[in-house]
Amino acid sequence: MSRAVKDLVISDVRKRVGGAKDFVFVDTSRMDAFAQNTLRLTLREQGIRIVGVKNTLASKVLKENGVSNVDHLLAGPTSLVFGASDIVALSKEVFKQVKGSKEKLAVKGGSVEGSGLNAKELEAVSKGPSREELIGKIVGLMLSPGASLAAALLGPGSTLVGQVKSKSEEDGEKKEEAAAE
């Protein structure tokens, strides 16, 4: 491949990948063309892209994006999968597709925020909570002390209001009885 063509391909891959740092590296070489196209379409519905590119060119683009420790994953046929809301959603969808492909699709590993992971570590990430779930838990934990404080402050106040109300009703009944006599 001439230098001009390499530059064009690198520019195209750079444009497709953008600033992504979360990737899953897969081997699709055992899949036929129909299965690969179905995989691409299924992933595209989830907002996930898959790009097949020469390993040396992919390595250059990944290093530009700050992704390190993935050179061992770029051996043999490798496709880059990227583009979900977070690495958990991305890896969950890829492992879901692996189960459906009857072991023709193989996960080699991935990268999280630029750090390389092997396939087992990536599978462990896929079983964890997503970004939205973690944010929800954090917000719940942040609001919990405030809710407890509000309940503690409102508890005695509502008890006092209930007692004042029952006392006023009692006094009202006594006045009605006195007026009736």
Q: Which has the higher per-residue pLDDT, 1 or 42? A: 42
Strands (E), 16-156: 23-27, 49-52, 79-82, 106-112, 115-118
Two tokens, residue 115: 């750090």
What pLDDT is stored for residue 181 in this prediction?
A: 63
- pTM assigned to the model: 0.69
DSSP lists the bridge partners of residue 10 as none
Two tokens, residue 12: 């195209």
With a CB cutoff of 8 Å and minimum separation 6, the contacts of 151 are none
pLDDT reading at 131 higher than 70: yes
Chain segment 24-55, per-residue pLDDT in tens: 999 988 888 898 899 999 999 988 999 888 88
Rg for the chain (alpha carbons), in Å? Answer: 30
What pLDDT is stored for residue 56 in this prediction?
A: 86
